[in-house]
Amino acid sequence: MKKPVVLVVCTGNSMRSQMAEALLRRDLGDLIEVHSAGTHPSHVHRHAIRTMEEIGIDMSLHYSKSVFEFARHEIDLVITVCDSAKESCPVIPGAKRTVHQGYPDPYHASPTQDPEVMFAELRDQMRKELVELVCEELRLTRPQHQTGA
């Protein structure tokens, strides 16, 4: 049986969508195929890579991809994770469903807080919320082993 395909989208495909892809792959990879992309791809942010390393996820080989690379793919669920991507995300013809679960930009959200702390908080929040969202949207049984970071 073919796994449902999930595409996580943000603007640069540099932080939020990359982290979401890695988290969903680790926690739901037996149940879904997951990718990430950006409306204006750039590079994978070093804080995103470092934050994921803290919980044993290697993103060192990740690279930014454009949503247009997935235009002809059959996608069961598109999740936009930033407001800008929600507003500018092109219609993906093969997408069966699109939902928005916005998160603040961890690098620019607060000039007084340590970016590493903000990335870690974002990672932990995304892990909890996105696993629940994907399981609900695709009607999957949530894995019992998925409890926290």
Q: Which residues are catalytic?
A: 10, 82, 89
Find the DSSP H helices in the chain.
16-28, 46-53, 83-88, 115-138
Angle at 76 between CA 74 and CA 81, to 5 degrees: 110
How many whole angstroms separate alpha carbon 87 and alpha carbon 32? 26
Place of tokens 């070093």: 46
